[in-house]
Amino acid sequence: MTERNKDKELVSEYNGIKLTRRGLLSAGAAATVAAALARPSISWGQSNEINSSVKVPNTEMRFAASLGWTVWESGRHIVNGYRDAVEKLGGELTIADANYDVKKQADQILAFVESRPTAIFITPADAAAISPAVQKAVASGVPVFIGDSYVPGTTVTSTAMSNNFGLGSYPAQYIVDKLGGKGKVALVSLPSNESWDQRTLGAKSVFTRYPDIEIVSETAFALGGSTTPRQVVDQILTANPELDAIWCAWDGAASEGTLAIRASGRDVMITGIDGGRQSFEYIAAGSPFKITMAQSFYEMAYMNAFYAFEVANGRDAPRFVITPSYAVTQESLAGMEQMPDTYDQPGEAAKLGWQRVL
């Protein structure tokens, strides 16, 4: 997106809370990881180079990570999850950032296969598009671990991700309940990734149960295009003067949409999916942004690395792990002096009094 490099730029203020742009872009297994691993103290600022390596004494294990993106809070948490796990358990980790470039990510995966690492970690920006490269990686015999999305047409060693259908249905039900089962709703979807598209299907599965809920608009947002989420929401508001709510497939649209709603002076609620400090600031400020589904990006990555070590040591890994998601509202954040940044590390959400909903 054209706004990617403006994440730190102050663009508005709401009830004394500074709001900034953000772009993009989720029990038993969690308990296993939480019990087995203690997170080391590594901050993003200490290791923020991509295409670099983290090395510790056990260099017999070499891991390679091809990440579809590393920007925004989700990307930062994913990178930290992989790095912290390898730092704790031992080995060498090489990270490559594809920055939403499908061809680049496919090339990265094939290059990693040639280097014969202990395991390959992948977070896809477009899972279907990189499926042929992932199939070749699986066929090579190198264990492959996927985070955040499943890759169609492949049988990888293990996948850790959120319940995307549920991520979409939960805020849709929230909208229905707040509207009393009657109102006009718009959708901003993210169909470029098959897993992310499941969120829209989840939302529609809820809205279609209520005959007095009318979906008046659906916009499929294209990553990397010239149109920003703010412009999309501006257009939706202009075309629908009686709109009650906007459901968004990710927090980037909800965050920028909040600014559009505020500028319009309209009483329209908006919902998001992802979680993170900036989204929490919008919600805590009492803005039109009412709820986000906070995913456990850090834990997705940590799960991948943890089970890669298990497999390397001759043990089994689960084929599929659904990592925790939390419904975060203004009530969830009440009384917090600082917005939580470590909620997606095993055990941290419980300290906040949060319970997983998916």
CB atoms within 10 A of CB 2: 11
Question: Beta strand 183-189 with 213-220: parallel, antiparallel or unpaired?
Answer: parallel
- DSSP for 85-124 reads HHHHH-SEEEEEE-TT-HHHHHHHHHHHHHH--SEEEEE-
Q: What is the pLDDT of residues 80-89, one digit of tens each?
A: 999 999 999 9
Segment 12-31 mean pLDDT: 38
Do 75 and 196 lie in one domain? The reply is no
CB atoms within 10 A of CB 218: 15
Q: Judge contact between 106 and 133, C-beta under 8 A.
A: yes
Number of domains in the chain: 2
Please give the single-letter amino acid code of residue 86: V
In a domain, 29, yes or no: no
In a domain, 31, yes or no: no
Q: What is the pLDDT of residues 173-198, one digit of tens each?
A: 999 999 999 999 999 999 988 899 99
Q: Judge contact between 161 and 172, C-beta under 8 A.
A: no
Segment 229-235 mean pLDDT: 96
Q: How far apart are CA 271 and CA 251, in angstroms?
A: 8
Do 286 and 155 lie in one domain? The reply is no
Closest C-alpha to 241, from 169, 189, 304, 184: 184
Rounded to 5 degrees, φ, ψ at 169 are: -75, -35
Q: How many helices (H) and strands (E) in the chain?
A: 11, 15
Question: What is residue 224's predicted lDDT score, i.e. its pLDDT?
Answer: 66
Segment 321-350 mean pLDDT: 96
In a domain, 121, yes or no: yes
User: Rg of the Cα trace of the chain?
Assistant: 20
Do 150 and 222 lie in one domain? The reply is no
Question: Hey, is 282 helix, strand or coil?
Answer: helix
Do 235 and 138 lie in one domain? The reply is no
Closest C-alpha to 319, from 166, 181, 144, 172: 144
Do 193 and 337 lie in one domain? The reply is yes
- DSSP for 134-146 reads HHHHHHTT--EEE
Do 226 and 122 lie in one domain? The reply is no
Q: How far apart are CA 149 and CA 76, in angstroms?
A: 17
Question: What is residue 193's predicted lDDT score, i.e. its pLDDT?
Answer: 87
pLDDT at 8 over 50: no
Q: What is the pLDDT of residues 96-131, one digit of tens each?
A: 999 989 999 999 999 999 999 999 999 998 999 999
pLDDT at 152 over 50: yes
Domain CATH code at residue 136:
3.40.50.2300
Give the pLDDT band (50/70/90) at residue 72: confident
Q: Could you tell me the residue range of the domain that residue 47 belongs to?
A: 37-162+297-323
pLDDT exceeding 70 applies to what percent of the chain? 83
DSSP H or E run through 57: none
Tokens of 347: 């055990």
Give the pLDDT band (50/70/90) at residue 58: low
Beta-bridge partners for 160: 147, 321
Q: How far apart are CA 27 and CA 32, in angstroms?
A: 9
Question: Beta strand 53-55 with 62-67: parallel, antiparallel or unpaired?
Answer: unpaired
Do 227 and 209 lie in one domain? The reply is yes
Do 176 and 140 lie in one domain? The reply is no
Question: Hey, is 281 helix, strand or coil?
Answer: helix
Give the pLDDT band (50/70/90) at residue 60: confident
Average pLDDT, rounded, for the chain: 87
Do 279 and 185 lie in one domain? The reply is yes
pLDDT at 93 over 70: yes
Do 319 and 260 lie in one domain? The reply is no
Do 145 and 260 lie in one domain? The reply is no
pLDDT at 45 over 50: no
The residue ranking higher by pLDDT, 307 or 224, is 307
The conformation of residue 325, written as its DSSP 8-state character, comes to E
Segment 187-213 mean pLDDT: 96
Closest C-alpha to 75, from 219, 276, 230: 276
Within its chain, how far is the Cα of 352 from the centroid?
20
DSSP H or E run through 233: helix 229-239
In a domain, 356, yes or no: no
In a domain, 18, yes or no: yes
In a domain, 253, yes or no: yes
Do 71 and 218 lie in one domain? The reply is no
